[in-house]
Amino acid sequence: MFVAYAGQGYGLTETTAATCITLASDNRTSVVGPPQESSCIRLRDWPEGKYFNDDLTAPTIKMRRGEILIGGPGVCKGYFVNPDDPDPDIVEKNATEFVTLDGVRYFCTGDIGQFTPEGNVQIIDRKKDLVKLQQGEYVALSKVENVLKTSKYVELPMAYAVSTESSCIALVCPMAPALKALAAEMNVTGTLEELCANPALVEKVLADLQTCCKGKLVPFETPQKLILVADVWTVENDMLTAAMKLKRKPIVERHAEQIAAIGYGTAPAK
């Protein structure tokens, strides 16, 4: 009898691939496993995102949290710099994305993680997805998107925020069958593109998204406006990376007119 094992792992090109791999006895999908023997993982406090090692003593968290730093022999020496024509951006990245602590050289991943009681690493956020709002609060876009995915109307969500606004908005590629079923209930007809532009349908879907956010997100994290996108984002139309991650800037640029039409922000977020 042939038995196949499929587990989750975590690693980066800069750390020579897998740093963590789940145990064969662990079938959970929410963790990436413990660190491998060849790697060392350290969590660095990130005050802006309110992730701390001291969260271990917080009654509602009880886990150490912070930016994942990876050390060990698999960490690369840095990004290549052409000695004849050094790129200042690469020089800056080498200076900021690699750090030596207690004699160990680490790569700063930008990923936010926590150690579970079982010793597994769990990825919970991403530093680059954090945007400071008008009132000084930070919203983690990926956190919002993970909640939006729980709506039956959502196929692909993207949260968008700028510092001139007090809340975020959502751009959503809808689940076409669910949206069409809702339209039928409301006696609304038209193509998918027409349905996505229908104000009554948009309002209904937004209400469902906000219901999904209750108890999971605070008010400033909850999208107050919604844009439905008929043309699904894909790798082929250059809206997703090869790893199926959102290309935020191209998506914002592509839908700039729709964002302006709902009166949100003054310019695309950097």
CA nearest to 112, candidates 78, 146, 89 = 146
Query: What does each of the 270 residues of the chain score in pLDDT, given as a tens digit?
Result: 666 667 889 999 999 978 999 998 888 888 999 999 989 999 999 987 889 999 999 999 999 999 999 999 999 999 999 999 999 989 999 999 999 999 999 999 999 999 999 999 999 888 878 888 999 888 989 889 999 999 999 999 999 999 999 999 999 999 999 999 999 999 999 999 999 999 999 999 999 999 999 999 999 999 999 999 999 999 999 999 877 889 999 999 999 999 999 999 854 444
User: 270: which residues sit within 8 A by CB, 6+ positions away?
Assistant: none
The dihedral built from the CA positions of residue 64, 68, 74 and 77, taken in this order, carries a sign that is negative
Sole residue written with tokens 């691939």: 17
Pairing of strands 121-126, 130-132: unpaired
CA nearest to 130, candidates 263, 228, 270 = 270
Contact 209, 175 (CB under 8 A): no
Summarised one tens digit per residue, pLDDT across range 241-264 is 877 889 999 999 999 999 999 999
Give the largest Cα separation in the chain, rounded: 67
Q: What is the pTM of this model?
A: 0.68
Summarised one tens digit per residue, pLDDT across range 49-95 is 889 999 999 999 999 999 999 999 999 999 999 999 999 989 999 99
Q: How many whole angstroms separate alpha carbon 244 and alpha carbon 159? A: 16
Within 32-190, residue ranges assigned H as helices are 88-96, 141-148, 176-185
Angle between helices 199-213 and 176-185 (to 10 degrees): 120
Helix (H, G, I), strand (E, B) or coil at 25: coil
DSSP state of 36: P
DSSP state of 257: H
